[in-house]
A and B are shown apart, each in its own frame.
Chain A
Amino acid sequence: MKDVEMKMLERAKALLESGEVARVIGWKKGDFCFDPAPASFETVEELDNFVYDYFCGANLSKYLIQMSKKEGKTAVFLKPCDTYSFNQLVKEHRIKRENVYVIAVECMAKLDIEKIKAKGISMVESVEVVGKEVKVTSAYGVETLYKPDVVLTKCATCTKTHQVKDEEIILHERPARDVDRFEEVAKLEAMTADERFAFWREQLSKCIRCNACRNVCPACSCVKCVFDNPASGIAAKANDDKFEEQLFHVIRAFHVAGRCTDCGECSRVCPQNIPLHLLNRKFIKDIDNLYGEYQAGETDEGKTPLTSYTEGDAEPNDVMNGEAK
């Protein structure tokens, strides 16, 4: 990963120095090795803080809504999963494609510090990844973990590939894997309605309405969110019942249905570890079953299955009965 970072830095410098781009969106070092954060770099000097490692899981595509409106071009580093969000936002006319220079970068699955900490390791100082081994150096010594145990949930079932690139920095190919991203959804489907209601009620009861999921979600990019709009008549209802408030997540899932690329950022940023991505994946699975397989963000044009009608579409009663196409 160090070699990839070097190459990215080299390109970022060249692009800024030549004036080809006005800024580069990437990740900057945090206080610790495990908390790099998205950042915009406008000068070569600022790049001193640039970092790209196994903790750079954040999806940078949403920042381009604002950045692509600015003067001059914006270069951005996009991992495979981020490119789907990028395409979806271009399709919805939120990103000005002509103002963006996309550098596709390899991913190799990112690590989840929460999962590392859950292994009983605290005061992490540095992390080194060799193949499937993760060597974690902490104040208490060095421990070796099995990588698939500590990758981000969104990375565990990822099979995505770059959908858009103006250039690429890929020094190592990620080996192909056979994973089923709907395994967890199938478990929920197997529950009775009462069990499922209890499951979500419990999960959503943890919500503190910090709005991190909404703020990070590339599909949640409304100029004015309905939940922030007093005229929508939703705000006051939330006070009636605690669970009604938490239905926020269900409404949000409906709003992004057919547009969600399954980038998994919602679950990654949730401080309460609510598996929010499962709501979206249920919609994705249903759309696949009812209207044929569809991956949002695979292209930057065309209609989504939920906003188009074709003669082969499932009849409403098929939808009611959840019958596959």
Chain B
Amino acid sequence: MQRIGVFICWCGSNIAATVDVVKVAEVMKNEPGVVFSANYQYMCSENGQQLIKQAIKEHNLTGIVVGSCSPRMHEATFRKTAEAAGLNPYMVEIANIREHCSWIHKDMDEATEKAIILVRTAIAKVKLNAPLTAGESPVVKRALVIGGGIAGIQAALDIADAGFEVDIVEKNATIGGRMAQLDKTFPTLDCSACILTPKMVDCAQHEKIDILSYSEVEDVKGFVGNFNVKIRRKARYVDETKCTGCKVCMDKCPSKKGLNAFNMNLNTRPAIHIPFAQAIPNVAVIDPEQCIKLKTGKCGICQKFCGVGAIDYEQKDTFIERQYGAIVVATGFKPIALDAFNEYGYADNKDVITSLELERLMNAAGPTNGVLLRPSDGTHPKVITFIQCVGSRDSSGCGKPYCSKICCMYTAKHAMLLREKYPDTEVHVFYIDVRTPGKNYDEFYRRAVEQYGVDYIKGMVGKVYNENGKLMVQGSNLIDNEQITIESDLVVLATAIEPEPSVRKVATLLTASIDTNNFLTESHAKLRPVESPTAGVYLAGVCQGPKDIPETVSQASACAAKVIGLLVKDKLKTNPCVAIPDEMMCNGCSQCANVCAYGAITYVDKEFRLGGGKTEVRRVASVNPAVCQGCGACTVTCPSGAMDLKGFSSKQIMSEVEAICKK
């Protein structure tokens, strides 16, 4: 005979203000199987837990239902409570009467009625619960970092410093990411390369770090502690172990007209190239779309001049497979495409540029050797107009609804640096709001306005057009309430940033969730901001949301702390809610294995008795409980209903449905 205890939590006023908790607890006393029902202000408190423990012992309860917040919050708490009182922790069910009920309803009668149904549903389920015991699985003590920008570099260094092996998989030929493209960094104006490249060198020299550049994650199997990752090492046509980075090949290459992506396509580079001077690894790569030898079979000059015989035109993509305990995603960002913003004339005017392009034009290693020259005619621009929020905070649907967060600060930086270096230039900035929260940030912006005389204009720009070689910026000045036109030589667009598009594939492979803007979703917006909802997957940098370098580095180190916390464990407790096949009903059709994202299902030939002394050998499914994550995909795919999930059996779910539908 079942002896169920029901515990209704007020959650202060969170639940009690909308749900008549006393009534819910009273009604439950009459439910079949329920022998105890109580309500309490904070069930998760020591006293609340004590109430539960006491009831379990006094009333000899066989199962309990807690009507409270989401199981994501306190299921673990109440399971431990039950265990401490001698009840199997899987004999606990949570009825979510907060997120699913009190928070979303206003009418007390309605909410109370719904809470009663939700608790009844949990009672129906707990009656069919069976005691379960968690198993253990070993932890592979190696981490994978996807993306070699500052986020990935910082995470890798911290994890490696703790003594664990780390692999950085970077899709480009060098690590460094976006930060390597920046000139100076706010709010201290130190040179980006000067602070980034030592970290890149640290990575290269660290005995625990393996940099897999020009590589991409191809497939991910397994689960927390035991990921099995297939990595594609793209053919760079240069032997990484031989190339010394001498750059003779770059000088000799006859095909020099390739667009230089590192310099935002503002100049060209040879088909064989090293992306930038401080590249790590300092190894050349051949662009197969541009290489004459690879396209026509005729040329081979670089091979002839290479002193160490590093050039290999026959190189093919190769694949390696490695095991990891944890994965950090740090795939970064890119500026959005400006196709939808014709009003700024970006496509038609060479002198309308993005902020990232300006970074390269101001950088000593950039296409103009750090001298600011207009892309159209190579002259010094005298009037420069910045336009903020290009594609950010955009409600028109052309851009992004969110604030890109970094633009206010880098625009202030650009304006200040230009006024510093070229005091004869006039600098205007159109802005909607200037947002500068952060240590020393507002002071930085005020310096731009007060010390450097940058002209900040509150208002949006409607149009940029070319008139006799001048860029006419037409906008509104909301402070003076007038329409103005600024005759400019150079227009800089503070372009919104978006997650690097390859993140979608990575998210799919990792079964990590992604939001409508392609940012990876964190497990809890406030309390678990660096963890993905997928166990063992952590998020660093802009792939999770817009952020600047200090925030990115902080998040990367936080990720590393989480990864280290995982990797120091020798074993993880596995989820006992795993799939279990009924061999008598299994057809052996492989559909469950096809949908299993974890590779947990294999098949075995088993002999079955048919009666009359006859036997038959049948192919039946077998689930590895250490690998199964209990997602349930197999149970709904199985045509004969042979697959079931412990803790979430079809019977339990159907009984919940019936409890909800019952009048």
Contact = CB atoms under 8 A, between A and B. Distances in A.
Looking at chain A's contact residues, the main secondary structure is loop
B505 A311 contact: yes
A177 interface: no
A224 interface: yes
B140 to A, nearest CB: 25
Interface residues of A, number: 23
B590 interface: yes
A224 B589 contact: no
Interface in B485-522: 504-505, 508
Interface stretch (B145-153, B550-558, B637-645): B637-645
Given A222-B640, A223-B618, A229-B641, A311 B584 contact: no
Contacts, number: 58
A221 B587 contact: yes
Interface in B193-207: none
B587 A223 contact: yes
A303 B585 contact: no
Contacts of B504: 311
Interface in B567-582: none
Nearest to A219: B639
B607 to A, nearest CB: 13
Contacts of B637: 307
Given A93-B619, A225-B640, A255-B639, A309 B508 contact: yes
Contact of A233 (B590, B591, B640, B651): B651
A307 B594 contact: yes
Looking at chain B's contact residues, the main secondary structure is mixed
Contact of A222 (B585, B618, B651): B585
A226 interface: yes
B586 interface: yes
Interface in A308-325: 308-309, 311
B588 interface: yes
Interface in A64-84: 69
B364 interface: no
Nearest to B584: A224
Contacts of B587: 92, 94, 221-223
A256 B508 CA distance: 27
Contacts of B651: 233
A94 B651 CA distance: 28
Contacts of A311: 504-505, 508
A240 B481 CA distance: 73
A232 interface: yes
Contacts of A303: 594
A65 B637 CA distance: 21
B616 interface: yes
Nearest to B504: A311
Given A233-B654, A311-B505, A92 B590 contact: yes
Nearest to A88: B589
Contacts of A69: 616
Interface in B626-663: 637, 639-642, 650-651, 654
9 contacts: A94-B588, A223-B584, A223-B587, A223-B618, A223-B640, A232-B641, A233-B651, A307-B595, A307-B637
